[in-house]
Amino acid sequence: MSSNLHQAGVALLKQLGRHADLVMDVYLSGSISEGGEQAQAIEKLRQADILWRPEPGQDLRLKRSVRALLEEALKDERNRQIDANAGSGLATIKTLADHYKEARHNADYSASEAYLSDLNEQVYSFAEGLKYSIRVLWSRINNEFGYVGTINAKIRENELAQSQVSELLNGLEMFQFSELGEIAGDIRELRKLLVTTLQETLSDCTQELGVVQSRLLELLGRFRQIQGRTRLLKGWLLHTDMHPDYQVSDHVGHKQLPVLFNCAEPLLSPASVDVTNTSQESELLEMVASIKSISRTERDFSYREQDQAFALVDAEDFDIPDNPLKLAVDEYFCEVIDSGLRQSALQYHEQKALAWDKESWLYQVICGFDGLPEEHRRYFELEPIGEPHPVYNGNFIIRDVELWMA
């Protein structure tokens, strides 16, 4: 099967290369008739499915696949074809992934390799098609829809591009990576394609489509502004054509001026201090020094009848009492040192009938061990006793701790 495909592909490429001038003529003109000096070459291209006839009696045209290949290779600005159907690509990717998992489960290695190759091609083709659609949108924005000549046509093209961007974004929302992760399972090849590659591509393309959408809205506002001014100018020209004797009157002589003629821009822009100008540093310092603090809040003043003497003496020493819970932990450490045995913190808590709850007691024991100096901590060993969390991996539930001398 692969050898037949190879031969058919080589024959098709040879046909395109042998009749390259004719193919480009049809691409630029849009169609070609069967008569003329190149009738034999046209017939060969038609038999190779490079040219086709839409309806009986019409001229021959290029196949859509050949035209799309030339538009992408030549970066033709007239290309406005964008494939926004992301749902079909997603369904194909899921189907190929299921085929690959089934063939791998049945130990059919040749079929699994073929399905994996098709899945790679489908994922990379989908990503390339998405990026190509964004490139087409950017080329139309940068050219400001220069392939159409009127403002109304530019606005229609802008609205078309905005609808295509919305369809692309809606299609990308269909990709649920939690579902794709369940489909991939623990298969490394599928996780790389369905999760890593697709997620990176879709994240970059979504951000870029957001920028494209904002640029389209900005460009649409500019087009509508130009359209409004054009309509105003055309209306004025139409008015002067219908009233050739019209003369602009002296609006200054009117008692009530129209608002349109009573607007004036400020002669001077608002002043501001240039703090980066070093030549004005002295003046700025003088202005800051002359600023006085004015406080209008009422204050109550108390006046002394006579002066009172005071003397500077040394501050009295004072002690901060230790936390009783910390003192109890210190006694627990001393008990372990005196006995020299491995002792449980909860058993000590029950023996001494301490008043604190067990959770606070265990927490303070752990904090007391971590708070010891390094030279003292190496004389002890602390082991937490518990079990891993049944739901959340990496979490360890401590039920008790045991302390002993190292």
Which residues contact residue 99 at a Cβ distance below 8 angstroms, ignoring those fewer than 6 apart? 111, 115
Matching residue, tokens 């992408």: 72
Helix (H) or strand (E) holding 404: strand 396-405
pLDDT at 1: 45
Query: How far apart are alpha carbons 250 and 247 in whole angstroms?
Result: 10
Residues 6 or more apart whose CB falls under 8 angstroms from that of 202 comprise: 130, 172, 175
For residue 187, the tally of other CB atoms under 10 A from its CB is 16
Q: Does 301 have pLDDT greater than 70?
A: no
Over residues 306-312, the mean pLDDT reads 65
| Residue 390: both structure tokens together | 């049944």
CB atoms within 10 A of CB 227: 15
Helix (H) or strand (E) holding 343: strand 343-344
pLDDT digits (tens, 9 = 90+) for 46-105: 777 788 777 677 677 777 777 777 777 776 656 556 777 788 888 888 888 888 888 888
pLDDT band for position 307 (cuts 50, 70, 90): low
Helix/strand/coil for 381:
strand
Sequence letter at residue 316: E
pLDDT of residue 387: 87
Pick the residue with more confidence: 307 or 146?
146
Distance CA 126, CA 93 (A): 9
CA angle 171/174/177 to nearest 5° reads 130
Q: Which residues are 343's β-sheet partners?
A: 403
* 77 φ/ψ angles, rounded to the nearest 5 degrees: -70, -15
224 pLDDT above the threshold of 70? yes
Q: Which pLDDT score, from 0 to 100, does residue 216 have?
A: 92
3-state helix, strand, coil in the chain (%, to 5): 60, 5, 35
Q: Which residues contact 194 (CB under 8 A, 6 or more apart)?
A: 93, 97, 123, 177, 180, 181, 183, 184
| Structure token digits, residue 319 | 């002690």
pLDDT (tens digit per residue) in 7-32:
877 877 887 788 788 878 877 777 77
**What pLDDT, on the 0 to 100 scale, is given for residue 218?**
92
Q: Token pair of 179, please?
A: 């579902």
86-96 b/e (C-beta count within 10 Å ≥ 16 → b): beebbebbeeb
Q: What is the CA radius of gyration of the chain?
A: 42
- Within 10 A of 329 (CB to CB), how many other CB atoms are there? 21
Six-digit token string for 124: 């990379």
- Token code pair at residue 313: 């003496």
Q: What is the pLDDT of the chain when averaged over all its residues?
A: 81
Q: Distance (Å, rounded) from C-alpha 246 to C-alpha 8?
A: 75
CA 204 – CA 216 distance, rounded (Å): 18
pLDDT tens profile 173-213: 888 888 888 888 888 888 888 888 888 888 898 999 999 99
In the beta sheet, which residues pair with residue 344? 402
Tokens 């201090």 -> residue:
273
